Structure 1
Amino acid sequence: MAGKFEVYEDKAGKFRFRLKAGNGEVVAVGEAYESKSAAVKGTQAVQRAASDAALVDLTA
């Protein structure tokens, strides 16, 4: 099963998103947004950025 983004409203009335892996584990959480549409745009920005993102190891 493929991963999925979930958009939800938190207890403070802000909109957030989380990325879940195919097994249901949360692997990323977005910041709080004022509107649902802004949270959806946040997921789209993550999708665009991740498609070409490089792994940079800063532990060395």
Structure 2
Amino acid sequence: MAGKFELYKDKSDQYRFRLKAGNGEVIAVGEAYTSKSGALNGIDSIKRNAADAEVDDQTDD
């Protein structure tokens, strides 16, 4: 099963999204948006940019 984005409203009536893996585990969470279109734009941005994103390891180990 493929992953999916879930769009929802939080307790403050703000729009948020989370990305779930195929097994149902939450693997990413978006910030709060005041509009549904803003949250959908955030999802679209991840879809467009994440595949080519590099890993910037800032740990000391």
Q: TM-score, normalised by structure 2?
A: 0.90
Matched residue count: 60
2:34 matched to which residue of 1? Answer: 34
Letter in structure 2 aligned against 1:13: D
Deviations 1:4-54 (A, max 9, x none): 101001111000000000000001100000111110110001111102111
1:45 matched to which residue of 2? Answer: 45
| Unaligned 5+ runs, structure 2 | none
2:16 matched to which residue of 1? Answer: 16
In structure 2, C-alpha distance between the alignment counterparts of 1:46 and 1:8, rounded to whole Å: 17
| Unaligned 5+ runs, structure 1 | none
Letter in structure 1 aligned against 2:11: K
Q: Which runs of 4+ in 1 moved over 4 A?
A: none
Computed over aligned residues only, the root mean square deviation of the Cα atoms, in angstroms, reads: 0.9
% of aligned pairs identical?
Answer: 62
